[in-house]
Structure 1
Amino acid sequence: MQALAVNVGDLKKVMSNVKTRGILGEYQLENILEDLLTAEQYAKNVKTKEGSDDKVEFAVKMPASGDRDKPLRLPIDAKFPKEDYERLIIAYDEAVPDKIEICRKAFCRQYPQKCARHPGKALIVRKTETGLTSSVEKIPLAQIPVHDTLVKIEYSTLNYKDALAVSGKGKILREYPMIPGIDFAGTVEQTSSDKFKPGDRVILNGFGVGEKYWGGLSEYAYVNSDFLLKMPDGMDARKAMSIGTAGYTAALCVEELLSSGINNNSAPVVVTGATGGVGSFAIALLKQQNIVVSAVSGKAGASDYLKRLGASEIIPREQLMREAKPLETQRWGGAVDTLGGNALATILAECHSGATVTACGLAADFRLNTTVMPFILRESG
């Protein structure tokens, strides 16, 4: 009995491999068809849908009806979507209606065979007794938390949050294990949502992905379809992630400045963290609008780079890191700040009346020691 148990355990290990299970199933199905039908009654590796390159393993030729010239083909596939089935059973055990519905639709549709046969690689962060570990691993789809849309990821970007998540220096991750990556671009492989269909090109930024939901530093991701945007015409995944979350954030900041009335007649706009992703994009976007930009950086050798982007002057970061008075000499018509802390407090104290400040980061400090004076006396916002 002990030997039998060992053999059964070995067989279970073999059958847990999706590719092996598929090969065995295909072999057995072909034997069954050979026993029951003649060679003319079925075909192997058949395209059953016009305009599609997808093939089924076998198709049984059915008699044509009416005035059809071509015989009907009944597609038969040997593979059982074991992982989807197991997720469905778990959902029923947990008695979560929304999860049951998502898993049921996924089980009925089955995900593409290429995904099932080739588990994707991902950078995964785990919490251990001694701290955090991170490694690139093969992650079977069955292990990825289920949401209504499966995306084949082509590109992601490495953001400041991702660096904090992997290094453990910031309390970014809410769950473990976790795949970081707060953005990605790719193609929908499977969905139960009415908003998308397989083949749609999509982009994701934020929504807690890479923090509390498994993220973009992976080849595949299950995500909530509400988090996705259709990729604009003329853009591909590489271009989208060349812009990434940093460019998206910078664009939102610049849009807010422009909508508030910043123009080329205003005082300069100050951009902190200028060599970072948000800062660099913000400088370039402001320059396109003919707005004078003062770039703040702590990197001594960055002047040429920042001036090529469009900065008119380079300000050492130390000038803003001091403890500011409630009101300082007016300098700025607006700001894009990624530092927080004393830098943001100093900027607020130095803004002109009616200036707009967009604060989108806390690279220096999450605390803000300031007063209401700039908001009352200069109507900064």
Structure 2
Amino acid sequence: MQRHWVMALIVASGLLAQTPPPTPPQEPPATPVQVPAPETKPAQEPPVVPQEEPKAAEPKGFDQLRPTQRKLAYTLYRAALSAHELGFYHSHPRALEVRETLEALVKAKLDIPEKASAALAPVEAYLAKFNTNHGLYDAEGKKLLLESTWKDLQTAARAAAKTGPKGLEPRLAKIKGLLLDAKVDAAAPGWAEPEAPAKGKKAKAVKGPKAPEGFAGQKAITALWVKRAQAWIENTAQEVDVKGEKKSRRLPDPVQTKALNDLLAWLDKDDLDLLRDPGFGWLDARRLNGGATLLSKAADIAASKAPEGPAPELVPLPTFEPVMADSKFGKGEEKRPVLADVKQGPAPANLADQAALFQKLGRSRDYDVK
């Protein structure tokens, strides 16, 4: 290798000029660059597409329900409002007397001159609290008090009597203590049976509480709407035994049927037994959500299970408008109206309007046809 390299150098020298430039030093042989072997990547797996969880079916709008379902919703709504009205009696035997007397005073507003109307604003505020708390006591059991005076109430009642309704003053006098005196029935009166008198000649029998006036009638209205709801129970496919053979038939849903039957049996109790029942606490539109939860809470009511925790806040709820038609099964020329369909209406503008609507429908046996 060295010889070949010298000969090449001589030949090159003869070809160049006589004074050749200095020969550059020989560069060391280049070290071959080692190219790293390409990394062997594992075969890429196809990207995993995350599977979307099936979304829960959104509840149908009221208009998308079947006519039978709409009728059931309406009759349950009316049953709940009647039960809500019945529930006021549990607060105090005279709770509805207080409400009706104060409402009569407010309705006479146009007959009361401004100088005699000092009590009207406090009365309206008291009624709002009365409806919010479903009676004479707040959530903590403290009695609601009217922020006015007997003199102002008396002045307004006397002014109304000149051109408007008579007899407001004596009606107000009967409930004066409940409205203005914190010591009168400071706690809600109980419905429990009185204790047996001690043995002895001087022992006197203690009189027990009596069912409030109007309670039985309101209970009957509530039962009427529950019975009407039974007619619109959803039919479901069920297996029945026909002459020893299993066959499928569409019959009223057994769960809904049992719920309404249990409610009717519960309402059939003696008035005082019903007022003492822990399940009576469910008779409140705040807890029944305007009838939407009446079926689901029927078991708790019938089992005398008291509701837990404070009642939720009531908000304006949608209304319902029944559509009536003549029955096809009328006798002769007699036409009997029947519930043909139900439409959903707007919610009341405010809680005061809703309270008035609840009271009107809750005390009525009739369909509210507009």
Structures share fold, TM-score greater than 0.5: no
Bigger Rg, structure 1 or 2: 2
Q: Which has the higher strand share?
A: 1
- Point out which structure has higher relative CO (alpha carbons under 8 A, 6+ apart): 2
TM-score interval (norm. to shorter): under 0.3
User: What TM-score, normalized to structure 1?
Assistant: 0.20
User: What TM-score, normalized to structure 2?
Assistant: 0.20
